Amino acid sequence: MRPPTSKLIVAMLVGLVCAAAMFGAARAGEAPQVLVFENDLMRWTLGADGLSTSLLEKDGNRQRLSERPHHFAWITKDSKTFPATRVERRGELLHVSFGASGVEADYRVSAHGPYFVV
Protein backbone atom coordinates (compact mmCIF):
# COMPACT_ATOMS: atom_id res chain seq x y z
CA MET A 1 0.00 0.00 0.00
CA ARG A 2 1.32 3.43 -0.92
CA PRO A 3 1.67 6.09 1.77
CA PRO A 4 -1.01 8.82 1.67
CA THR A 5 1.53 11.33 0.30
CA SER A 6 1.92 9.38 -2.95
CA LYS A 7 -1.87 9.20 -3.37
CA LEU A 8 -2.01 12.98 -3.05
CA ILE A 9 0.71 13.40 -5.68
CA VAL A 10 -1.11 11.02 -8.05
CA ALA A 11 -4.38 12.89 -7.49
CA MET A 12 -2.65 16.19 -8.25
CA LEU A 13 -1.10 14.80 -11.45
CA VAL A 14 -4.47 13.44 -12.60
CA GLY A 15 -5.98 16.86 -11.89
CA LEU A 16 -3.36 18.53 -14.05
CA VAL A 17 -3.99 16.09 -16.91
CA CYS A 18 -7.74 16.70 -16.66
CA ALA A 19 -7.21 20.46 -16.66
CA ALA A 20 -4.98 20.25 -19.72
CA ALA A 21 -7.59 18.16 -21.52
CA MET A 22 -10.38 20.57 -20.65
CA PHE A 23 -8.57 23.74 -21.63
CA GLY A 24 -6.62 22.45 -24.62
CA ALA A 25 -3.03 23.07 -25.53
CA ALA A 26 -1.10 26.12 -24.46
CA ARG A 27 -0.86 27.64 -27.96
CA ALA A 28 -3.91 28.53 -30.03
CA GLY A 29 -4.76 26.07 -32.78
CA GLU A 30 -2.93 23.11 -31.23
CA ALA A 31 -4.87 19.96 -30.44
CA PRO A 32 -4.54 18.80 -26.83
CA GLN A 33 -2.23 15.84 -26.43
CA VAL A 34 -4.56 14.03 -24.03
CA LEU A 35 -8.31 13.98 -23.47
CA VAL A 36 -9.62 12.53 -20.21
CA PHE A 37 -13.18 11.36 -19.60
CA GLU A 38 -14.48 10.12 -16.27
CA ASN A 39 -17.59 8.37 -15.04
CA ASP A 40 -18.44 6.95 -11.61
CA LEU A 41 -16.13 3.93 -12.06
CA MET A 42 -13.56 4.59 -14.78
CA ARG A 43 -11.12 7.15 -16.17
CA TRP A 44 -10.59 6.92 -19.96
CA THR A 45 -7.58 8.61 -21.54
CA LEU A 46 -7.63 9.31 -25.28
CA GLY A 47 -4.69 10.74 -27.20
CA ALA A 48 -4.91 13.33 -29.98
CA ASP A 49 -3.79 10.50 -32.30
CA GLY A 50 -7.05 8.58 -31.71
CA LEU A 51 -5.48 5.97 -29.43
CA SER A 52 -7.07 4.98 -26.14
CA THR A 53 -4.07 4.88 -23.87
CA SER A 54 -5.74 4.08 -20.56
CA LEU A 55 -8.97 2.80 -19.08
CA LEU A 56 -8.34 2.99 -15.37
CA GLU A 57 -10.73 1.57 -12.81
CA LYS A 58 -10.89 4.20 -10.08
CA ASP A 59 -11.44 1.75 -7.24
CA GLY A 60 -8.06 0.06 -6.92
CA ASN A 61 -6.34 1.88 -9.83
CA ARG A 62 -6.56 -1.21 -12.08
CA GLN A 63 -5.70 -0.75 -15.74
CA ARG A 64 -8.33 -2.38 -17.97
CA LEU A 65 -6.56 -1.93 -21.35
CA SER A 66 -3.77 -4.16 -22.52
CA GLU A 67 -0.26 -2.73 -22.59
CA ARG A 68 -0.53 -1.41 -26.14
CA PRO A 69 -2.89 1.48 -27.01
CA HIS A 70 -5.99 0.83 -29.15
CA HIS A 71 -7.74 3.07 -31.67
CA PHE A 72 -11.01 4.15 -30.14
CA ALA A 73 -12.92 4.21 -33.45
CA TRP A 74 -12.77 2.65 -36.94
CA ILE A 75 -14.70 3.17 -40.15
CA THR A 76 -15.06 1.10 -43.30
CA LYS A 77 -14.98 2.78 -46.70
CA ASP A 78 -14.83 0.92 -50.03
CA SER A 79 -14.22 -2.36 -48.16
CA LYS A 80 -11.15 -0.90 -46.43
CA THR A 81 -10.92 -0.27 -42.70
CA PHE A 82 -9.43 2.96 -41.35
CA PRO A 83 -8.69 3.78 -37.69
CA ALA A 84 -9.19 7.15 -36.05
CA THR A 85 -5.91 9.02 -36.52
CA ARG A 86 -6.64 12.49 -35.15
CA VAL A 87 -8.95 13.73 -32.41
CA GLU A 88 -9.52 17.30 -31.34
CA ARG A 89 -12.01 18.86 -28.99
CA ARG A 90 -14.41 21.33 -30.62
CA GLY A 91 -16.62 22.65 -27.87
CA GLU A 92 -18.64 19.72 -26.56
CA LEU A 93 -17.74 17.52 -29.55
CA LEU A 94 -14.74 15.45 -30.54
CA HIS A 95 -13.79 15.99 -34.16
CA VAL A 96 -12.25 12.76 -35.46
CA SER A 97 -10.30 12.17 -38.69
CA PHE A 98 -9.77 8.74 -40.20
CA GLY A 99 -6.44 9.12 -42.01
CA ALA A 100 -6.21 8.45 -45.74
CA SER A 101 -9.95 7.72 -45.98
CA GLY A 102 -10.71 11.44 -45.98
CA VAL A 103 -13.62 10.78 -43.62
CA GLU A 104 -14.20 13.05 -40.63
CA ALA A 105 -16.87 12.71 -37.97
CA ASP A 106 -18.01 14.46 -34.82
CA TYR A 107 -18.59 12.47 -31.65
CA ARG A 108 -20.14 13.45 -28.37
CA VAL A 109 -18.84 11.62 -25.29
CA SER A 110 -20.86 11.70 -22.09
CA ALA A 111 -20.70 9.84 -18.82
CA HIS A 112 -23.82 8.34 -17.28
CA GLY A 113 -23.23 6.55 -13.98
CA PRO A 114 -20.90 3.64 -14.75
CA TYR A 115 -21.09 4.06 -18.57
CA PHE A 116 -19.53 6.14 -21.30
CA VAL A 117 -21.84 6.97 -24.20
CA VAL A 118 -20.15 7.84 -27.52
What would the mean pLDDT of 27-42 be, rounded to a whole number? 76
| pLDDT exceeds 60 at position 21 | no
Cα separation of 31 and 95, whole Å?
Answer: 10
pLDDT-derived band of residue 29, with 50, 70 and 90 as boundaries? low
Q: Do residues 48 and 31 touch, judged by C-beta distance below 8 A?
A: yes
The pLDDT value recorded for residue 92 is 92
CB 31, CB 25: distance < 8 Å:
yes
Considering the chain, what is the average pLDDT of its residues?
79
pLDDT at 30: 56
State the amino acid at position 30 in one-letter form.
E
pLDDT at 67: 82
pLDDT tens-place string over residues 65-85: 888 888 999 999 999 999 999
Does residue 16 have a pLDDT over 90? no
Percent of the chain with pLDDT over 70: 73
Rounded CA separation 71/49 (Å) = 8
Does 12 have pLDDT greater than 50?
Answer: no
